[in-house]
């Protein structure tokens, strides 16, 4: 057994010598072998470049996709944010059946319904009829409205007595003749905004708007929205964001094509 | 007219140029190591044409992977390893069997004549071995792989690798006696 182990050592020593000799051994390279390698190498390089191009194109597509997803996320966030902001705002409905009605944005009223009853003020054929004394101040009314009401309040009018029947010549509070006060009131009422009803936007309404917008995005009518007056301001913002993304996408495409 | 490849004084500059995909540098690399690598391929595969094909594939891999070479060992050693792996891949197609010897072989003392052999004689001597024995002998005795590494590379047990090596040694000795 010991003898056999010694033989193994002898073999290992022999193999070490063989290893040194064989490591230095060279074969003659056949003619044209480098040409073949070069040809294959060029072919492989062309194929790799092509694959790289396809991969980059794919990457470009996914970059665009990511950017669009980011844009959509930003838009969604904007809509939710605006939706919840608007939830606390008041939409003012103006009764359009009457003459001289225009819409102005009144002062903010804390989400409660404010009504100016139609019985208090009426605009009919350019004439002002006061059937009872107007309230001193109507919350949520605009300045013109308030002024008109103040003027009316100063008129020496008792309840349910038409303005034309009032005989007093001077209105005590103003020191002006009644006719003058009447014409002032008339002038004010001509420009006046009659706010009939105030109704807060319900939460569902805002959510419905968001869902509607998403549907519009899906159907590709997103840019059409920018032309709509109702959502103009908001969609200007959207349009700007979209434009920036389109511009960046274009730049990216150009740089990739280079 | 044939143009000779550029010569590089330092191996680092040759590697750098090869990394850049410089065909001239690649040709220089091929000229520098091609002969030795062809000898290795022939020692594993026996067949000249197959050895040339494997050499070609091996160099394509070298050019492709030279960016991964980290200058930690010798460049020749790194290329040699790629070539040996390519040879083993080619040998796998032959579906070689590596039988385990049932009884432990008694390996005789190596003949003195074996020590005097030239590299060409050693190569010819090794090439007479059957595929399986030749592969294990080449990997263990010439490349310096351990039995564990051989077992992993060839998908055999360490015992089989040891057994194949013993068998190869016995056969080498016998063939010398026949001569």
H helix and E strand count, chain A:
7, 6
Q: Mind telling me how many Å the CA of A234 is from chain B's nearest CA?
A: 53
Q: Mind telling me how many Å the CA of B141 is from chain A's nearest CA?
A: 5
| CB pair distance less than 8 Å for A33 and B27 | no
State the pLDDT confidence band at A255, using cuts at 50, 70 and 90. confident
CA distance B160 to B151: 8
Contacts of A37 in chain B (CB under 8 A): 26, 30, 56, 59-60
- Rounded CA Rg of chain B: 18
Which of residues A177 and B35 earns the better pLDDT score? B35
ipTM of predicted complex: 0.85
Mean residue pLDDT of chain A comes to 62
CA distance A90 to A112: 8
Pair A111, A203: CB distance under 8 Å: no
Q: What is the pLDDT of residue B178?
A: 60
| CB pair distance less than 8 Å for B110 and A7 | yes
Name, of A30-39, A64-73, A80-89, A159-168, the range with top average pLDDT: A30-39
- The answer to whether residue B47 scores a pLDDT higher than 50 is yes
Which of residues B176 and B163 earns the better pLDDT score? B163
Residue A36: closest CA among chain B residues belongs to which residue? B56
Q: Is the dihedral of CA B46, B49, B54, B59 positive or negative?
A: positive
Contacts of A40 in chain B (CB under 8 A): 56, 60
Which of residues B80 and A216 earns the better pLDDT score? B80
Q: What is the pLDDT of residue B102?
A: 66
Query: C-alpha distances in angstroms, B46 versus A72, A111, A178, B150?
Result: 65, 94, 127, 20
- The answer to whether residue A93 scores a pLDDT higher than 90 is no
Lowest-pLDDT choice from A106-120, A141-155, A167-181, B90-104: A106-120
Q: Mind telling me how many Å the CA of A7 is from chain B's nearest CA?
A: 5
User: pTM here?
Assistant: 0.53
Lowest-pLDDT choice from A33-42, B60-69, B101-110: B101-110
State the pLDDT confidence band at B52, using cuts at 50, 70 and 90. very high
Residue A48: closest CA among chain B residues belongs to which residue? B64
Percent of the residues in chain A that have a pLDDT greater than 90, as a whole number: 5
User: Which two three-digit tokens encode residue B43?
Assistant: 């020692």
* pLDDT tens digits for range A228-251: 545 555 556 666 777 777 777 778
Question: Whose CA is closest to A165, among A136, A130, A125, A120?
Answer: A130
Name the residue facing A18 among B35, B38, B122 (closest C-beta): B122
Name the residue facing B110 among A11, A24, A37 (closest C-beta): A11
Pairing of strands A90-93, A122-124: unpaired
Residue B113: closest CA among chain A residues belongs to which residue? A14
Lowest-pLDDT choice from A73-87, B12-26, B118-132: A73-87
Is the Cβ of B119 closer than 8 Å to some Cβ of chain A?
yes
Chain A interface residues (partner B, CB cutoff 8 A): 4, 6-8, 10-11, 14-15, 17-19, 21-30, 33-34, 36-38, 40-41, 44-45
Mean pLDDT throughout A161-175? Answer: 54
Lowest-pLDDT choice from A100-104, A119-123, B61-65: A100-104
| CB pair distance less than 8 Å for A21 and B118 | yes
- The answer to whether residue B20 scores a pLDDT higher than 80 is yes
| CB pair distance less than 8 Å for A44 and B35 | no
User: Which two three-digit tokens encode residue A66?
Assistant: 């990511």
Q: Find where tokens 């193999």 sit.
A: A15
How many CB pairs below 8 Å do chains A and B form together? 88
In order, the DSSP letters of B71-121 are SSS-HHHHHHHHHHHHHHHHHHTTT---PPPSS---PPPPPHHHHH--HHH
| CB pair distance less than 8 Å for B55 and A25 | no
Mean pLDDT throughout B159-173? Answer: 91
State the pLDDT confidence band at B86, using cuts at 50, 70 and 90. very high
Is the Cβ of B16 closer than 8 Å to some Cβ of chain A?
no
Question: Whose CA is closest to B80, among B46, B41, B136?
Answer: B41
Contacts of B59 in chain A (CB under 8 A): 37
Lowest-pLDDT choice from A221-225, B75-79, B119-123: A221-225
CA distance B40 to B46: 10
Contacts of A33 in chain B (CB under 8 A): 34, 52, 55-56
Contacts of A4 in chain B (CB under 8 A): 106-107
The count of other CB atoms within 10 Å of the CB of residue A194 is 22
- The answer to whether residue A98 scores a pLDDT higher than 60 is no
Pair B34, B62: CB distance under 8 Å: no
CA distance A83 to A88: 9
Is the Cβ of B32 closer than 8 Å to some Cβ of chain A?
no
DSSP-based three-state secondary structure for A6: helix
| CB pair distance less than 8 Å for A29 and B34 | yes
User: Which two three-digit tokens encode residue A191?
Assistant: 């420009």
Instruction: Among B23, B43, B118, pick the best mutation site for testing chain A contact (most A Cβ within 10 A).
Output: B23
- The answer to whether residue B73 scores a pLDDT higher than 80 is yes
Which of residues A175 and A139 earns the better pLDDT score? A175
Name the residue facing A25 among B21, B30, B123 (closest C-beta): B123
Pair A15, B141: CB distance under 8 Å: yes
Q: Mind telling me how many Å the CA of A51 is from chain B's nearest CA?
A: 15
Residue A8: closest CA among chain B residues belongs to which residue? B107
Which of residues B169 and A109 earns the better pLDDT score? B169
């Amino acid at each position: 057994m010991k003898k056999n182990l010694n033989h193994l050592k002898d073999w290992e020593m022999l193999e070490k010598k063989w290893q040194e000799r064989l490591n230095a051994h060279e074969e003659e390279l056949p003619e044209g072998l480098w040409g073949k390698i070069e040809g294959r190498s060029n072919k492989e390089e062309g194929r790799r470049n092509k694959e790289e191009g396809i991969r980059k194109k794919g990457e470009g597509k996914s970059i665009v996709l990511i950017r669009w997803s980011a844009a959509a996320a930003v838009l969604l966030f904007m809509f939710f944010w605006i939706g919840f902001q608007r939830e606390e705002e008041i939409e003012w409905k103006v009764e359009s059946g009457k003459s001289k009605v225009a819409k102005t944005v009144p002062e903010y009223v804390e989400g409660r319904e404010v009504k100016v009853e139609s019985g208090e003020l009426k605009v009919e054929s350019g004439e002002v009829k006061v059937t009872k004394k107007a309230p001193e101040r109507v919350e949520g009314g605009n300045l013109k409205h308030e002024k008109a009401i103040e003027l009316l309040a100063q008129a020496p009018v008792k309840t349910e007595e038409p303005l034309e029947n009032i005989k007093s010549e001077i209105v005590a509070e103003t020191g002006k003749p009644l006719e003058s006060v009447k014409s002032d009131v008339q002038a004010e009422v001509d420009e006046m905004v009659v706010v009939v009803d105030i109704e807060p936007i319900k939460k569902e309404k805002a959510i419905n708007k968001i869902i509607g917008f998403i549907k519009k995005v899906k159907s590709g009518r997103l840019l059409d929205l920018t032309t709509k007056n109702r959502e103009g301001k908001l969609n200007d913002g959207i349009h700007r964001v979209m434009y920036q993304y389109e511009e960046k996408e274009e730049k990216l495409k150009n740089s990739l094509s280079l | 007219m044939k143009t000779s490849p550029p010569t590089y004084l330092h191996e680092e500059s040759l590697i750098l140029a090869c990394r850049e995909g410089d065909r001239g540098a690649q040709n220089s690399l091929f000229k520098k190591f091609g002969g030795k690598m062809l000898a290795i391929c022939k020692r594993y595969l026996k067949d000249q044409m197959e050895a040339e094909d494997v050499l070609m594939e091996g160099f394509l891999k070298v050019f492709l992977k030279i960016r991964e070479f980290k200058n930690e060992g010798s460049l020749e050693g790194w290329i040699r390893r790629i070539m040996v792996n390519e040879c083993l891949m080619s040998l796998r197609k032959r579906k070689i069997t590596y039988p385990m010897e049932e009884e432990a072989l008694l390996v005789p003392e190596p003949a003195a004549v074996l020590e005097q052999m030239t590299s060409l004689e050693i190569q010819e001597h090794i090439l007479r071995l059957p595929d399986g024995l030749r592969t294990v002998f080449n990997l263990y005795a010439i490349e310096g792989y351990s039995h564990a590494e051989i077992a992993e590379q060839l998908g055999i047990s360490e015992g089989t690798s040891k057994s194949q090596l013993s068998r190869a040694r016995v056969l080498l000795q016998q063939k010398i006696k026949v001569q």
